[in-house]
Chains A and B, each alone.
Chain A
């Protein structure tokens, strides 16, 4: 089942922090963190509970206009699954979306 209808939201334990040593963002949570690339950072920022996956894909398509939306959708779902598997999304997204 796709997660088109759900609106992913980052868990309250997660903190997004700019890393001035690398110019990238880190997604910090207890004990560890993820070093995000640009796309992942944009997706994480859109996980506010207000956007559904389709909204997120559309927003990214505006930024990365030259990338086919099927690829963007795949990347979004992959990243959201990775976050969900680590328990980094709110409970309504607790199981992997795919």
Chain B
């Protein structure tokens, strides 16, 4: 099992966030998990991660800017020569603080936007934020830091894709992630309001492909297809416990952002155990590694080394069983559950549905 090496550590520094996006990837019950690990524990985690092979560090959340010790964390990670990506909503931030981050070794900034229209961006984010985001983008570029723009696509904003590309060019983004929502956590809760139609997805994909060709070498354009409209699932996290490791705000070491929502799996806390031991020996990390666990039809499928059976969280949250083939796969016996969601969306004919903002009030009856 030591053949696996984590290249990227996703450090979720906090679940706190000034925004309330209805597709947030944090767990539904995030508000009950506010016991954040401290500066020294994070610095030790970075050290142990680097020793284990990690070279990329994503500082994320929630909103990582809400950590008062972000300067110390960037400084510590920089001493370890980690490539440090700050993944942020852009607020609360000042130009001076960003300047400090850069001086301490920050390598790149990924900034989220919710829409190209200020009022719509603020509506989706559930907080006035668009003007600050624009300002942040300018600061990032003026400091000569690479800028990635990330927009989560869903029914209400996917038609804006050409404008989104124009905005990214205006802001001189180096990379644009047009990421369809992953229907887990808050996005699954709000799926009826967020899932686009097939036509919407196809139109967006075509425009994104044209932009990718036109901008090659200047701006990287990444279009993340919603797996609800793909024939096969994504290789979620490049496979369970293969290249990525997440440490959540409480210190749980996980193969993905939501792995702790899977029942019956045991994950360990970095406050109790060395990261290398967790990576190699923790039962939660080993359960879905390799091919031994694979169900039918993955077991004999040629794509098993491409998608590794797909997303375990999607398997559980859609079918109730984390060990089955990702239902997004057209070969899955549970695929009808995905087809039903698509039919439901197409029958809405564009009728808007009110989504529920991420909030501290956990939704009764839902664990994720």
Q: Which of B53, B81, B216 has the most CB of A within 10 A?
A: B216
For the complex, is B198 an interface residue (Cβ under 8 Å from A)?
no
Q: Which residues of A contact B7 (CB under 8 A)?
A: 33
Q: How far apart are B207's CB and chain A's nearest CB, in angstroms?
A: 20
Q: Which residues of A contact B218 (CB under 8 A)?
A: 87, 91, 94
In the complex, chain A residues 1-41 whose Cβ is within 8 Å of any chain B Cβ: 11-13, 15, 17, 19, 21, 26, 28-33
Q: Which 3 A-B pairs have the closest CB atoms?
A: A13-B146, A30-B108, A28-B83
- Can you list 5 contacts pairing A with B, beta carbon distance less than 8 Å? A15-B107, A30-B85, A30-B146, A33-B7, A94-B217
Check A17 against B85 for contact (C-beta < 8 Å). Answer: no
For the complex, is B138 an interface residue (Cβ under 8 Å from A)?
no
Among A12, A32, A87, A94, which residue has its beta carbon within 8 angstroms of that of B56? A32
In the complex, chain B residues 2-33 whose Cβ is within 8 Å of any chain A Cβ: 5, 7
In the complex, chain B residues 46-97 whose Cβ is within 8 Å of any chain A Cβ: 53, 55-56, 81, 83, 85
Count of inter-chain pairs, beta carbons less than 8 A: 59
Check A85 against B217 for contact (C-beta < 8 Å). Answer: yes
For the complex, is B156 an interface residue (Cβ under 8 Å from A)?
no
Knowing A17-B81, A30-B174, the reply to whether A85 touches B55 (Cβ < 8 A) is no
Q: Which residues of A contact B83 (CB under 8 A)?
A: 15, 17, 28-30, 33
Knowing A17-B55, A19-B55, the reply to whether A31 touches B217 (Cβ < 8 A) is no
Q: Which residues of A contact B291 (CB under 8 A)?
A: none
Q: How far apart are A38's CB and chain B's nearest CB, in angstroms?
A: 19
> A76-98, CB under 8 A of B: which get 1 and which 0?
00000000111100010011100
Q: Return the chain B residue nearest A19 by Cβ.
A: B55
Complex CA gap A11/B144 in Å reads 10
Among B55, B85, B219, which residue has its beta carbon within 8 angstroms of that of A87? B219
For the complex, is B220 an interface residue (Cβ under 8 Å from A)?
yes
Q: Return the chain A residue nearest B219 by Cβ.
A: A87
Q: Which residues of A contact B216 (CB under 8 A)?
A: 85
Complex CA gap A34/B178 in Å reads 23
> B32-54, CB under 8 A of A: which get 1 and which 0?
00000000000000000000010
For the complex, is B342 an interface residue (Cβ under 8 Å from A)?
no
Among A30, A84, A96, which residue has its beta carbon within 8 angstroms of that of B107? A30
Check A33 against B110 for contact (C-beta < 8 Å). Answer: no
Knowing A15-B107, A33-B83, the reply to whether A28 touches B56 (Cβ < 8 A) is yes
Q: Which residues of B contact A13 (CB under 8 A)?
A: 107-108, 145-146, 174
For the complex, is B280 an interface residue (Cβ under 8 Å from A)?
no
Q: Return the chain B residue nearest A12 by Cβ.
A: B144
Complex CA gap A86/B144 in Å reads 18
For the complex, is B175 an interface residue (Cβ under 8 Å from A)?
yes
Knowing A86-B220, A87-B174, A94-B217, the reply to whether A33 touches B55 (Cβ < 8 A) is yes
Q: Return the chain B residue nearest A94 by Cβ.
A: B217
Knowing A15-B107, A85-B217, A96-B217, the reply to whether A31 touches B144 (Cβ < 8 A) is no
For the complex, is B148 an interface residue (Cβ under 8 Å from A)?
yes
Complex CA gap A83/B368 in Å reads 41
Q: Which residues of B contact A11 (CB under 8 A)?
A: 146
Complex CA gap A85/B215 in Å reads 10
Q: Which residues of B contact A95 (CB under 8 A)?
A: 217
Complex CA gap A15/B107 in Å reads 9
Q: Which residues of B contact A84 (CB under 8 A)?
A: 217
Complex CA gap A2/B26 in Å reads 49
Q: Return the chain B residue nearest A84 by Cβ.
A: B217
Q: How far apart are B242's CB and chain A's nearest CB, in angstroms?
A: 14
Q: Which residues of A contact B108 (CB under 8 A)?
A: 13, 29-30
Q: Which of A13, A31, A94, A96 has the most CB of B within 10 A?
A: A31
Q: Which residues of A contact B81 (CB under 8 A)?
A: 15, 17
Q: Which of A26, A28, A85 has the most CB of B within 10 A?
A: A28
